[in-house]
Homo-oligomer: A and B are copies of this chain.
Amino acid sequence: MSLEEEVLRRIRPKDGTIRRLDEAVGQLQRSTGESISRSGLDLRTMLVGSVAKGTYVGEPDIDLFVLFPETVERKDLEKIGLRIGQEVLGGKTRYAEHPYTHGEIGGFEVDLVPCYAVPDASKIRSAVDRTPFHTKFVLSSLDATKREQVLLLKQFMKGVGVYGAEAKVQGFSGYLTELLIIKFGDMLSVLGAASGWRPGVVMDMDSFKKTGGSAPLTFWDPVDAKRNVSSALSLDQFCLFVHASREYLRERNERFYFPRKRPLLDLDIIEATFRNRGTSPFAVVLDRPDLVDDNLYPQVQRSVLGLRKLLEMNDFQVLDMKYSVGKDIRTVFELFSTELPPSRLHQGPPACTENADEFVGKWRKSGLGQPFMIDGKWMVYVKREHRDPATLVLAKGKEAALGNDLRDLKGLKCYSGRDVYKTANRRAFTLLLDRREAWRV
């Protein structure tokens, strides 16, 4: 039996799961139908997502859409949609472009989502209106064999760490995975093709161009040719998938699908690594705001970049960084040094501008040496305000470009020197220092 067949045997939905799922879906559709009847409106429902397409791996979420005619006003769609959701699931309201209901039935997570029934996907009024078209397209394009290939590809992507279009992952969406199988035929053909991709590839169902895209990967949506299905995919995740494809085809191994758990590095190993490299760790801790992941992660990513910029603007050379979101948000930076000289070379205005005289007059008195010209600009050595990154971030952190809900730097703590080697920082340090690919752990 080939490795892929063995993997398929492990990931194919179990009979028990299928039965439980059928029951849950049946119950969901019945309750929703009854609730719709009570509303007096004539609304269709449609099962969408991986359950509808039979392309789920592991325990799936169930997505049921309630389709409203376009004559219904948006605020009514929202109100009625939530009322139905409340009656059926009694669950929590969640917010995408418009609100929907999240709950649980028969042990499965369920999203009950109101959307507009539009004539075609280029006429959508909100992103969710497109989903029914995706489901129809995939259902009409995947046979049973290809469906299994989707399972394989999804498991591979999960294993190497690139599955999921959400902000936390910035990888491949389920729909994109399905399109790749439809386009290339099977999982190995997708990996074979991907082995030759470079950032900027552009494709749709019928054509392929090696370069020219503004995103790492552009896959024009077959149901809406102006939309790139792959817009959430980051450059590094694209490259990681290409790299994983090449490595897998060279030496197939089940660890690509089922990686071992990556152990946290011991603190003494972390410390020894920095000592051997002669680099300096610096950690910033923030309270975790109460937000869903899709809202939280973009803010964390923005804040980490903002802090990096603040450090760099103040002459700290950032070699690498990683963040870890758990009970709090921990960002670790690997710096060239956490101790800067007591002076800095301060660049002034171009020598022939109005401000030049003022600059020269000011610093002639208070600089660490006289102002001088380099390449037509005034320069002067001045006393450095922040010689270590902790003082800098504590004093100027709020001036960094931070995510909206992190802007007040609630719970801010900074660690450098020996203080950085704390158990709570192990996860972030492991992300930073254990760079083995998932399949090599």
Q: A residues touching B (Cβ–Cβ < 8 Å)? A: 197-199, 216, 235-236, 238-240, 242-243, 246, 273, 276-279, 319-320, 336-337, 340-343, 345, 350-353, 356-357, 360, 368-376, 379, 381, 433-436, 440
Contacts and interface: CB of A to CB of B under 8 A. Distances in A.
A202 to B, nearest CB: 15
B435 A376 contact: no
B198 A343 contact: no
Contacts of A197: 352
A239 B277 contact: no
Contacts of A341: 277-279, 336-337
Contacts of A236: 351, 373-376
Contacts of A343: 276-279
Given A352-B197, A370-B436, A375 B345 contact: no
Contact of A276 (B238, B342, B379, B440): B342
A373 B161 CA distance: 14
Contacts of A434: 370
B277 A342 contact: yes
27 contacts: A199-B376, A236-B373, A236-B374, A239-B351, A240-B351, A240-B373, A242-B352, A243-B351, A243-B352, A243-B356, A243-B360, A273-B368, A273-B369, A276-B368, A277-B343, A277-B368, A279-B341, A279-B343, A279-B381, A320-B345, A320-B379, A336-B341, A369-B433, A370-B434, A370-B440, A371-B435, A372-B435
A279 B315 CA distance: 14
Contacts of A352: 197-199, 239, 242-243
B246 A353 contact: no
A351 B320 CA distance: 17
Given A216-B376, A236-B351, A278-B343, 5 more contacts: A243-B356, A276-B343, A277-B381, A336-B341, A370-B435
